[in-house]
Amino acid sequence: MTNSVSKKRLALFASGRGSNGEALYKAMQEGLINGEFVVIITDHADAGIVERSKGWGIPLIAIERSQFDSKQAFEQAQLDALEPYCVDGIVLAGYMRIVGVGLIARYEHKILNIHPSLLPKYPGLHTYQRALENGDSEHGTTVHFVNEEIDGGAIVLQAKVPIFPGDTVEEIELRTREQEYHIYPLVIKWFVEDRLKLIENQAYLDGKPLPPNGYANE
> Is the Cα torsion angle 190, 154, 114, 136 positive or negative in sign?
negative
CA atoms within 13 A on the CB side of 112: 30
Q: Which residues contact 73 (CB under 8 A, 6 or more apart)?
A: none
Give the neighbor-by-neighbor strand order of the sheet with 208-209: 196-199, 202-205, 208-209
Does residue 77 contact residue 99 with C-beta atoms inside 8 Å? Answer: no
Does residue 192 contact residue 8 with C-beta atoms inside 8 Å? Answer: yes
> Is the Cα torsion angle 146, 188, 24, 28 positive or negative in sign?
negative
Tell me the C-alpha distance between 48 and 180, whole Å: 18
Query: Annotated active-site positions, please?
Result: 115
> Is the Cα torsion angle 17, 93, 189, 180 positive or negative in sign?
positive
